[in-house]
Chains A and B, each alone.
Chain A
Amino acid sequence: MIPWKLVPRYLRAHPLRSFLTLGSLTVAVFLLCFLYSVVTALNAGVASSSSSRVIVQSAVSLYVNLPLSYQPKIEAVEGVVETCKWQWFGGIYQDRSNFFAQFAVDHETLLTTYPEIEMIEGSDEEFQRLRTGCIIGKNLAQRFPELGVGKTLPLLGAIFPRAGGEAWEFQIAGIYESNSANVDNNTMFFHFDYLEESMDTGTVIADPGVGLFVVRLEEGTKTEDVQRSIDNEFSAGPQRVQTTTEAEFQRQFVTMLGSVPTLMGSIGGAVLFAILLAVINTMMMAARERTQDFGILKALGFQDRAAACLLVAEALLLSVAGGILGVGIAKVTAPIFQQVMGTTVPGYDVTSHTATVALIIAIGVGAIASLVPAWQAARLRPIQAFRAEG
């Protein structure tokens, strides 16, 4: 039998200490959720990559364009259904701080190569029809409420400046939503033809070329064979290519962030370790203060495990409460972080998996922190507690 009633009473007996311990646990669990969610979001593109697409880019660098003439040759490779050109545009909307990604793409094949993109406002037909048409992600539409369907999106060309320095003007034909993390909802897509024509007519001064080709494969095609065929096709130049799976391509971006995910993980580990020490300290203090009470309980006939259970229960109560609060705050603040970090960490979300992991860690911290004091409390002999000698 354990006098459980003592657990909340002990916590209430030192309200400030309980509050501070709970507060630090809450902050630590929130930080863990945040960091874990950031790392998960950074890796989400890799995890959700499609195996029915491969990416063709310059073997030199992603920043080196490929000739437009490569497209029909790629499409002629066995197992290739269609291709979609992607070119990074890098325009500025009103101010540099309003950064979001913009791509010139083959409008006819964008939605067929990416079936995970769904139009939720406007229409694909309108996007196809308008030469200057574009579609924007739903998060972008939320971020800039003035950008609705039918509105004009002016962009100042940084990589592709218009002659005379005037802005590009795009007509918003639709708003899309991606149901997969490999396409984020903060991007703008427009007609590659429009960019190409502008270069051809001399209204834009830039070298023509394609950043990369997204290649959709026939179902059942061996990806490695297609990769090898495409790479071989251009092995003699003029521009050698590197064909990768979509997962590998996404992984390059995570790698480009260098040790950021590792750093995030390290910070999370340090936070965890610090809070573990803090909770151990709290529980050691609690155990020391209750030495006499544990002696009394044992003198009354309670078994050794009663004292140990009280300490473990107290630590678990604190850690579970801190865990729930921390996860709750992380969940509630997730939309705010989605807005703030939408372009840098697209797909940030505190998933139920993250919440469960954080709660398990919080409970683990409580359990580990109470182990030593609980063991000491169990071993304590009543006469030691009373310091009695005849």
Chain B
Amino acid sequence: MSDSSIVLDGVIKTYRKGGEELRVLDRLSLEMQSGSFYALMGPSGSGKTTLLNLVGGLDQPDSGTLHVAGLDISSLSNAELASFRADHIGFIFQGFNLLKPLTALENVELPLLLTPLSRKERREHARHALDLVGLADRAKHRPGQLSGGQEQRVAIARALAVDPTVILADEPTGDLDRDSADAVLDLMARLHEEFEKTVLMVTHDAVAAERAKKIINLDKGRLVSNLDNPGAKAANSPSGGTT
């Protein structure tokens, strides 16, 4: 488990929908190694997003254990889960989920408010993160003034800013055109390669999944496969697009 960033053991998650119980994750056991890039695939309703939410501490399993970054998060309180998310998790969402009243720089700075950094240090970190995603010149733009690809890059900078252990991405290219999607995927690959983050990306897109080192397949809440992807493309490879 020491090499494993994420470990699930017999995790069950059930939702109630229309008076009917729906088992979304069914005794799922899975290990993901630190510093690797995983693509999580499967048909709709297979439990991908639920798994992502559990790993990110946004939800808790009904039974089973879940360790992330060495912590058993399956029994943490809401407040402890919030602290866990602040310390260990960076989220990238399909809909970008930036706060519209804030500028790009302020959005990136937002999670840094939860760190002991001074205001000046927070600003520096945020600027550096924006620079890494190639948007230093858009620092004062609001989300409404950015393209979809740029918004997602700001979201990546926000996820990166706090130096999390794990980066969770839910369909990060789902709302983007191909060029923007390639640029975002290239950044995701860099997060894993340059910054050695554990990246778990939910995707339906086979092209996106090709960037991952490992591909996990789920179906009906159960693990179908957890395989290496020997054809994974590195960041800034000829087909990897640009930032």
Chain A: residues with CB nearer than 8 A to chain B? 1, 3, 5-6, 9-10, 12-13, 292-293, 295-304, 381-383, 386, 388-390
Between A and B, 13 residue pairs with Cβ closer than 8 Å are A5-B106, A6-B99, A293-B100, A296-B99, A299-B97, A300-B114, A301-B85, A301-B87, A301-B111, A304-B79, A386-B97, A390-B24, A390-B52
**Contact assessment for A389 and B99 in the assembled complex, using a CB-CB cutoff below 8 Å:** no
**Are A390 and B53 in contact (CB-based, < 8 A)?**
yes
B25 (CB) vs chain A CBs: closest residue: A390
Inter-chain contacts of A302 with B (CB < 8 A): 82, 86, 114
Q: Check A299/B56 contact, CB under 8 A, given A304-B79, A390-B48.
A: yes
The answer to whether A300 and B101 touch across the interface, beta carbons within 8 angstroms, is no
Q: Does residue B232 face the partner (Cβ distance < 8 Å to A)? A: no
Other A-B contacts than A6-B99, A298-B82, A304-B78, 7 sampled, CB-CB below 8 A, are: A300-B85, A300-B111, A300-B114, A301-B87, A303-B83, A389-B24, A390-B48
A389 near B15: Cβ-Cβ < 8 Å: yes
In contact, A301 and B53 (Cβ under 8 angstroms):
no
Q: Report how far A296 CA is from B52 CA in the complex, Å.
A: 15
Query: Which residues on B sit within 8 Å (CB–CB) of A381?
Result: 58-59
Q: Is B5 engaged at the interface, CB distance under 8 Å to the other chain?
A: no
CB pair A9 B78 closer than 8 Å: no
Contact A386:B93 (CB < 8 A) given known A13-B101, A304-B82: yes
CB of A69 to closest CB in B, whole Å = 83
Checking A12, A296, A303, A390 against B51 with a beta-carbon cut-off of 8 angstroms, the contacting residue is A390
Query: Knowing A302-B114, A390-B50 touch, does A5 contact B102 (C-beta < 8 A)?
Result: yes
Nearest to A300 among chain B residues (CB) is B111
Binding site for A on B (CB under 8 A): 15, 24-25, 45-53, 56, 58-59, 78-79, 82-87, 89, 91, 93, 97-102, 106, 110-111, 113-114, 158, 170
CA distance A389 to B158 in the complex (A): 24
Task: Report chain A residues within 8 Å CB of B51.
Answer: 390
8 Å CB contact of A383 from B48, B58, B101, B111:
B58
Across the interface, which residues of A come within 8 angstroms of B15, CB to CB?
389
Alpha-carbon distance between A384 and B111 when the two chains are bound, in angstroms: 20
Known A-B contacts A6-B102, A9-B102; the reply to A300 vs B110 at CB < 8 A is yes
Q: Check A390–B49 contact: CB distance below 8 A.
A: yes
Residues of A within 8 Å of B99, CB to CB, are: 6, 293, 296-297
B100 contacts across to A, CB distance below 8 A: 13, 293
CA separation between A9 and B107, bound complex, in Å? 13
- Complex CA distance for A295 and B110, rounded to whole angstroms: 14
Q: In whole Å, how far is B172's beta carbon from the nearest beta carbon of chain A?
A: 14
**Contacts between the two chains (Cβ within 8 Å), count:** 83
Residue of A nearest to B86 (CB): A301
Q: How far does the alpha carbon of A1 sit from the alpha carbon of B111 in the complex, in Å?
A: 10
Q: What are the 8 closest A-B residue pairs judged by CB atoms, nearest first?
A: A301-B86, A390-B50, A9-B101, A390-B49, A301-B85, A390-B47, A300-B111, A382-B58
From known contacts A6-B99, A6-B101, A298-B82, infer whether A388 and B49 are also in contact, taking CB-CB under 8 Å.
Answer: yes
A302 to B114, CA, bound (A): 7
Q: Are B114 and A390 in contact (CB under 8 A)?
A: no
Least Cβ–Cβ distance between B88 and chain A, in angstroms: 9
Q: When the two chains form their complex, are residues A12 and B58 in contact, meaning their CB atoms are under 8 A apart?
A: no
The residue on A at minimum CB distance from B168 is A299
Would B101 and A12 count as touching, CB distance under 8 A?
A: yes
Minimum Cβ distance to chain A for residue B6 (Å): 16
Residues of B contacting A299 in the complex (Cβ-Cβ under 8 angstroms): 56, 58, 85, 91, 97
Q: How far is the CB of B74 from chain A (nearest CB, A)?
A: 16
Q: Which residue of A lies closest to B50 (CB)?
A: A390
- Complex Cα distance A299/B45, Å? 22
Which residues of B are found within 8 Å of A293, using beta-carbon distances? 99-100
Given the complex, which residues of A lie within 8 Å of B79, measured CB to CB? 303-304
Instruction: Give the residue of A3, A9, A386, A390 whose beta carbon is less than 8 angstroms from that of B113.
Output: A3
Please give the distance in Å from B59's CB to the nearest CB on chain A: 5
How many Å from the CB of A11 to the closest CB on chain B? 9
Complex CA gap A303/B46 in Å reads 30
Distance in angstroms between the alpha carbons of A383 and B78 in the assembled complex: 13
B110 contacts across to A, CB distance below 8 A: 3, 297, 300
Contacts of A390 in B (CB 8 A): 24-25, 45-53
Cβ 8 A contact of A389, one of B50, B78, B86 = B50
CA distance A10 to B101 in the complex (A): 7
> From residue B51, how far is it (CB to closest CB) to chain A in Å?
6
CA of A304 to CA of B83, assembled, Å? 11
Q: Which residues of chain A are near B86, meaning CB under 8 Å?
A: 300-302
Write out the residue numbers on chain A whose beta carbons fall within 8 Å of the beta carbon of B83: 301, 303
Q: How far does the alpha carbon of A12 sit from the alpha carbon of B89 in the complex, in Å?
A: 31
Q: Which residues of A contact B24 (CB under 8 A)?
A: 389-390
Residues of A within 8 A of B25 (CB): 390
Q: How many Å from the CB of B204 to the closest CB on chain A?
A: 13
